[in-house]
Amino acid sequence: MTHEPELSVPVDLCAPDGGLLNPAARGWSRRPLHRANLDGGDLGRNKRWDYWAILAGDLIVSCVYSDIDVIGLADTYWAELSTGRTGGQGIITEPGPIRLPQVCETAELSVERDGLVLTMGTEDADGTHLVASWTEADGRPASFDIRVAQPAGLESVNVVIPWSDDTFNFTSKQVARPATGSLRVGDEEWALGADQEAWGILDVGRGRWPSKLAWNWGAASGRSGDTVVGLQFGAKWTEGTGFTENGFVIDGRVTKLGRELEWTYDWDDPMAPWTIVDPGGQLSVVLTPVFDKYTKAGDEHLGSEVHQVFGTYSGTITDDDGRPVEFTDLQGFAEEARQVW
């Protein structure tokens, strides 16, 4: 349940000059409707990215394509949760080579630089094709080829978080998208979505950010019996704005939660359970981590530090009609990120 206005027609994120937030953009929608006309603002404040996480049982695969104004970033990553083995490659470019469309998933994203070839392409209405190749640090060739379906009628959480008239972010969080494909590293190959269902989760960001910010993000996908369930929630970065990125999907239909959720976890012990509860009673879940992807770069003046833990969610969600759905072992993750841009 939410107090936030629901939008139903396309809208520009910014005023006509690309500067301040368009008042009509304040709200949420069940599919991406915002056009991120970020043409103004101070250099270095505009951030644009698409991030995919593929959850495939014991394997996770991710990729990101990001323009943060002063540099471009692209990255591939994989981890085998049971063994802790990881790999992938990241690159940094000068401004220009990495560009993203104003409306998400309307153009192919592609870069070839420093041995990394990454394409995140919209094939058609049926879904998205993710293809990459690179060389591991130990010299082994690596690649993935993944198709993430877009089931007809599947809804998502799309919302503008307005910190102020000149700092704001549009995010599209898409969960419960079935995935199939393969990851190859040297002589090894993993089949995604074969023996166990795999799910794609998409995080889109288009906004003008403050220089320092911390956030939580959590998401999951899976089944409760024959019911497809997707979870999406965040914290910290939305507090005080009157808007949230909280919601969940039951068989393709989004229930939007306008309340801030209560997160309980320990930064210094990230492998302990993470509990997330809606004070309004519509969501209560626990993530049991099995793997911590910890990254740190830079320092307190310019840099980032992130604990992103992967594991399984158990709990209960209740839609606005009062229908409860209980689940166990949903594949998912949660994170705390601390950023100074």
pLDDT tens for 76-131 read: 999 999 999 999 999 999 999 999 999 999 999 999 999 999 999 976 778 999 99
Please report which confidence band the pLDDT of residue 298 belongs to, taking 50, 70 and 90 as the band edges. confident
Model pTM above 0.95 = yes
Per-residue pLDDT averaged across 315-329, rounded?
97
User: Mapping DSSP to helix (H, G, I), strand (E, B) and coil, where does residue 24 land?
Assistant: helix
pLDDT at 123: 67
CA angle 236, 160, 128 (to 5 degrees): 100
Tell me the backbone φ, ψ of residue 24, rounded to 5 degrees: -70, -15
Task: Answer left, alpha or beta for residue 106, where phi above 0 means left and psi between -120 and 50 means alpha.
Answer: alpha
Q: Which of 165, 206, 203 is nearest to 34 (CA)?
A: 206
pLDDT at 328: 97
**Centroid of chain to Cα 5:** 23
How far apart CA 75 and CA 89 sit, in angstroms, is 6
| HSE (side-chain half, CA atoms, 13 Å) at 293 | 22
pLDDT at 223: 98
* DSSP letter, residue 267: T
With 0-12 CB in 10 A as exposed, 13-18 as middle and 19+ as buried, what is 331? buried
User: In this structure, what token pair is assigned to residue 323?
Assistant: 């229908």
Q: Inform me whether the pLDDT recorded for 317 exceeds 80.
A: yes
Contact 310, 56 (CB under 8 A): no
* DSSP letter, residue 204: E
Contact 337, 305 (CB under 8 A): yes
| HSE (side-chain half, CA atoms, 13 Å) at 300 | 0
- Residues 3-62: pLDDT tens digits? 999 999 999 999 998 889 999 999 999 999 999 999 887 888 999 999 999 999 999 999
Q: Which of 142, 98, 138, 94 is nearest to 119 (CA)?
A: 98
Contact 248, 255 (CB under 8 A): yes
Length of the chain, please? Answer: 341
Helices (H), 224-331: none
Task: Please give the biggest Cα pair distance in the chain.
Answer: 55
List Cα–Cα distances, 304 to 67, 239, 278, in angstroms.
16, 20, 28
User: In this structure, what token pair is assigned to residue 27?
Assistant: 């709200």
Give 124's contacts (C-beta < 8 A, 6+ positions apart). Answer: none
- Residues 138-169: pLDDT tens digits? 999 999 999 999 999 999 999 999 999 999 99
Contact 3, 258 (CB under 8 A): yes
